[in-house]
Structure 1
Amino acid sequence: MQERSSVAELAAILRRELDRYSSGEKLPSSRALVEQHRVSPVTVSRALAELVAEGLVVTRPGAGAFRAEPRSEAARPVDTSWQEIALSAEPAGDQVPRSVDASGVVATLATPAPGVIELNGGYLHADLQPERALAAALARAGRRPGAWGRPAVEGVTELRAWFAREIGGPGGALAASDVLVTAGGQNALTAALRALAAPGAPVLVESPTYPGMLAVARASGLRPVPVPMDAEGVRTDLLADAFRATGARLFVCQPLFQNPTGAVLAAERRREVLRVARAAGAFVIEDDFARQLVHADAPAPPPTLMAEDRHGTVVHIRSLTKATSPNLRVGALAARGPVLDRLRAIQVVDTFFVPGPLQEAALELVGSPAWARHLRLIAGELTARRNALAAALHGQLPALVERGYGAGPGSGPIVPPGGFHLWVRLPDGTDEAALTGAALRAGVAVAAGRPYFSAEPPAAHLRLSFAAAAGTAELTEGVRRLRTACAQAGVPTG
């Protein structure tokens, strides 16, 4: 059983058993709970922490855990009706409402209930995370001289140099001084959008695209303008049209293993993206989130757009989080020219700096032999899981597969050579909300496609992750449950 499931189950048991104890009475010791419920000490500690957070239990160092005293009075109701006016009030003019819709992001961050198969996750399953290597790296980092001192706001020099080599490629197109260390990719994306576009400005985005980016853009008062994609990435002819029609000075893209479609931007379109943006006097944010998620049967990925950029057009984003753990929130922003000063200023205002020990741990990890072994491991595992999910869809839900994974109806499936998503187009008229709800009741969590579109979607979709599940058998079972949900929601399956 997964650790988080064990914690939830033990917390539920202890919650029910609290009625056996009077207020202030001592609960069994942690050792007794370990023996009684046959769980680990960590599980006991985390379960008790949940009850403490709920106000049901109090702990006293050296004494143990006790049932909490009942609250003397009920919490007073708070009248927050005024906030509805304050939050909706916008200044005069053409500014875009700075509403925040995090539902698409929360869907991939939320922990599913015990027994629910996670096909909507945004991170590697715990079995694929390099926990031992991370623990060793963190231990070594903590002993480094100066690790606990105040780091430079730009980041640890050696880590910046490592990112520069990774982003710029063997040609040395990038220097350490061109890189800022960030608190993960989302933090880098937020800083880049704020630096490159003023509130109310249009920003061109791929359609579909990552909901977290759309949420950041809208929260910053920007107007996302969709540019359609096909199997070879963004339609560059439509990109040029969009620049002319909107006057935008910014385009955000994921050229490699795009989220959610998995598409890789074709070689001729890579050159065209740079040419079109240059002609428009615009920046390109290259969100390179999945470069370390290449599958074992795929060729080496193309270089970054930044490695081919000779005009300072590209602002590059890279993160270590997707290939390691959601807790290793270390990433990088790379840029050349005056824009780097603006990015640095925003980083300082937002976060001051990324904690030094975390940066040192990241440096220890990527510099160890365990790093290359880990990348080989996940390359093989992701390939096997992708194939298992695709095979299960072909066998149990052929009507969905026939409509294509991302390029449109009748175009055939796109089996991505990297990343960890399949993008499934649903039959016309499908109610996404009804299907995802039925799926959850059937014991499988899937991500609806609507949050991935900045405007009206052309059809209903699902994004299915093959990295967050426990293995190939669980993926197959997840598709079986999805088939059950389709039948309940009236979605054709074959």
Structure 2
Amino acid sequence: MQERSSVDELAKRLRGELDRYSPDGKLPSSRSLVERFRVSPVTVSRALAQLAAEGLVVTRPGAGAFRAHPRAAAAPAGDTSWQEVALSADGSADLVPRTVDASGVTICLAAPPPGVLEFSGGYPHPSLQPERAMAAALARAGRRPGAWERPPLEGLPELREWFARGIGGGVTAAEVLIAAGGQTALATALRALAPPGAPVLVESPTYPGMLALARAAGLRPVPVPVDQDGVRPALLADAFRGSGARVFVCQPLFQNPTGAVLAPGRRAEVLRIAREAGAFVIEDDFIRRLAHTDSGPLPPPLAADDPDGVVVHVASLTKATSPSFRVSALAARGPVLERLRAIQVVDTFFVPRPLQEAALELVGSPAWPRHLRALSAELTTRRTAMTAALRLRLPELALPHVPSGGYHLWLRLPDGADESALTTAALRAGVAVIPGRPYFSAEPSAAHIRVSFAAVSGTADITEGVRRLRAACDEIL
């Protein structure tokens, strides 16, 4: 966040000085800007790139940066009010309105203002990302023979094989498709398995991005409560009978937001209930590589215990690498695999081959297991620091479950508390948290907030963020 703020500030200052130069006039060299503003060369490069994107500056390799010629005045804005009618013209025929509400997703993706600590982030801080290993992998990938050719539509065979081995249970490379990130894979699975207007069973609470995908596809999310041991089988069976749904979406490992792991005794029950209902289970195994050091042996994916093709499995590299490293996999058995493939080809053609080659280079390098061990240790340290700080400073916020994997904690507020007011007060106090309401597809059982310990720079920021959250609670609670 500090680097991004520096870029914005430098771009603002350079923007204000452009009138000093005539069109085609040369700006000071990058070296002089580094010395004058006491910033890094990367900051200067990104600030100039920002001005170039705005059409204010032209950069010429080897020559420097120059003021661009003034642009012609923009045409007057037209009247777009007709679109409101056009977009809703067929709404009366839809069983479920297909409006797209991205608010629950953008809360997790939006960068907080400068100076605000990011307890809202959904990705590890840059210091936790394997930036050098990814850069080296990308460089090696670009030199691979055929790296810039069109890849197989299903994905590179070697990468499909790597994902299949990770799933286990006899899943083969032929049953795996490479997708462009977990969100894209979930969207493909939902479209493949349920027609518009159909109900789809979801954990409650659950990932807001999945709820948004379901509603955008015209599906009707039906909540099934979870506890510390994951989804409750008896309630799942009731939901299948009562709704007639043929799809259940779940996160059996380190569930978002509760952190729950589906208990061993419930795994077979979930598969049996779905099979008897003639339904599919979409297994979102998004966070397997973010286990903590005290997690113990991880249970295998549900797909590994499913010979009958009940499970459509989604796995991703993104959470353990970078938000921009969007490589994931869909695994399925039976006729549904061809439908998944067809939808993916129509939607995206294929995942860019250089990115797939880079993924292969990364996961096959010695740096990959080292990164996973370091990430696990650091997440454990941060989780311990945050739970200790919360229990010391905010004992009124209930923490019913301390997860052994993932990057966040799920806190229940006292009865009658206003989570929206608390998140607003927290932002004023200098810490961004996520309200619990977007995680529920129906009325929530209580007010909650989700706090991330991975998106800040370290334990000092965690301690300070909890102190600021204490100030917000003193104002609201």
Q: Same fold (TM over 0.5)?
A: yes
Contact 2:91 2:97 in 1 (8 A): no
> Who is 2:117 aligned against?
117
3-state secondary structure, aligned to 1:398: coil
Unpaired segments of 5 or more residues in structure 2?
none
User: Which runs of structure 2 are paired with 1:427-438 in the superposition (5 Å)?
Assistant: 427-438=414-425
Give the RMSD, CA atoms, in angstroms. 1.6
Question: How many Å apart are 1:59 and its aligned residue?
Answer: 3.4
The CA deviation string for residues 393-440 of structure 1, in whole angstroms up to 9 with x for no partner, is 11111100xx3x3xxxxxxx2100001110011122222222212212
> Who is 2:452 aligned against?
465
Contact 1:117 1:469 in 2 (8 A): yes
Q: Which amino acid aligns with 2:189?
A: A
Question: How many Å apart are 1:18 and its aligned residue?
Answer: 3.6
> Who is 1:225 aligned against?
222
Partners of 1:22 and 1:460 lie apart in 2 by 58
Pair 276,320 (structure 1): closer, same or farther in 2 beyond 3 Å = same
Pair 12,481 (structure 1): closer, same or farther in 2 beyond 3 Å = farther
Unpaired segments of 5 or more residues in structure 1?
406-412
User: Which runs of structure 2 are paired with 1:150-299 in the superposition (5 Å)?
Assistant: 150-168=150-168, 172-299=169-296
Q: Which amino acid aligns with 2:410?
A: W
Q: Which stretch shows the higher mean deviation, 332-341 or 233-242?
A: 233-242
Of residues 426, 445, 466, the one that matches 1:479 is: 466
> Who is 1:53 aligned against?
53
Partners of 1:67 and 1:364 lie apart in 2 by 41
Partners of 1:274 and 1:360 lie apart in 2 by 35
Question: How many Å apart are 1:25 and its aligned residue?
Answer: 4.0
Q: Which amino acid aligns with 1:230?
A: D
3-state secondary structure, aligned to 2:290: coil
Question: How many Å apart are 1:373 and its aligned residue?
Answer: 0.5
User: Which runs of structure 2 are paired with 1:6-405 in the superposition (5 Å)?
Assistant: 6-21=6-21, 25-93=25-93, 95-168=95-168, 172-400=169-397, 403=398, 405=399
Q: How many residues align?
A: 477
Q: Which amino acid aligns with 1:222?
A: L
Contact 2:248 2:280 in 1 (8 A): yes
The CA deviation string for residues 284-306 of structure 1, in whole angstroms up to 9 with x for no partner, is 00000011011011111111101
TM-score, normalised to structure 1's length?
Answer: 0.93
Contact 1:90 1:97 in 2 (8 A): no
Question: How many Å apart are 1:127 and its aligned residue?
Answer: 0.4
Question: How many Å apart are 1:91 and its aligned residue?
Answer: 4.8
Pair 73,357 (structure 1): closer, same or farther in 2 beyond 3 Å = closer
Q: Percent identity?
A: 73
Q: Which amino acid aligns with 1:155?
A: G
3-state secondary structure, aligned to 2:396: helix
Q: Which amino acid aligns with 2:474?
A: A
Partners of 1:210 and 1:20 lie apart in 2 by 50
> Who is 1:416 aligned against?
403
The CA deviation string for residues 5-54 of structure 1, in whole angstroms up to 9 with x for no partner, is 32122223323434544565432221210111122222111112222333
Question: How many Å apart are 1:369 and its aligned residue?
Answer: 1.1
Partners of 1:93 and 1:4 lie apart in 2 by 46
> Who is 1:449 aligned against?
436
The CA deviation string for residues 412-470 of structure 1, in whole angstroms up to 9 with x for no partner, is x2100001110011122222222212212221111111111111111111111111110
Partners of 1:423 and 1:487 lie apart in 2 by 20
